[in-house]
Amino acid sequence: MYDDLYEYNQMIERKLDRVSELRAALTSMSAPLGEKSSGSHEDRMANLMCKIVILENELEGLIDDYADRKRKVQQEIFQLENEEWQDIVYMHYVEFKPMHEIAEIKGTTIGAVKMKNQRALKCLKKITKSQTI
């Protein structure tokens, strides 16, 4: 249900890394001032610039989708009446904290955190079902 936020985040990170790599490659290809570059060199540079623009456009769409999904998930989480459940689900599915870290923050066991998370998810499933009817 909420794991897709993590997947979107990972896709965004990968595309950002790829844009950085392409920008670095483009920078390293730049001819020093005063030097002429060959046509094939200019073609490779133009090709890299096109790839960067395409990736940045894809990134823009992904970031917009991610923001919309994140907002929806947050709204659903904050409908939980139990604030501890809200905290656990938020930390795990929005902040991407692992269960052991949440347990440390909450001062409890991993088992307790997992149990509360499962109960919260069941409750969230009921909430989202009732809203779609």
| One domain, residues 14 and 54 | yes
39 and 10 in a common domain: yes
Question: Any idea how long the chain is?
Answer: 133
Residues 18 and 58 in one domain: yes
Residue 2, pLDDT score? 83
Q: Total structural domains in the chain?
A: 2
Which domain CATH number covers 119?
Answer: 1.10.10.10
78-95: per-residue pLDDT in tens?
Answer: 999 999 999 999 999 999
Average pLDDT over residues 90-104: 97
Q: Residue 2 in contact with residue 74, Cβ under 8 Å?
A: no
pLDDT in tens, 16-40: 999 999 999 988 876 554 555 556 8
**Shared domain check, 116 and 90:** yes
Neighbours of 109 (CB within 10 A): 12
Identify the domain containing residue 4 by its residue range.
1-68
Which pLDDT value is given to residue 105?
A: 97
Predicted structure pTM score: 0.78
pLDDT at 51 over 70: yes
Domain endpoint, select from 16, 45, 68: 68
Asked whether residue 34 falls in the same domain as residue 86, the answer is no
Q: Are 89 and 38 in contact (CB under 8 A)?
A: no
Per-residue pLDDT at 50 exceeds 80:
yes
Whole-angstrom distance, CA of residue 94 vs CA of residue 106: 17
Percent of the chain at pLDDT exceeding 90: 77
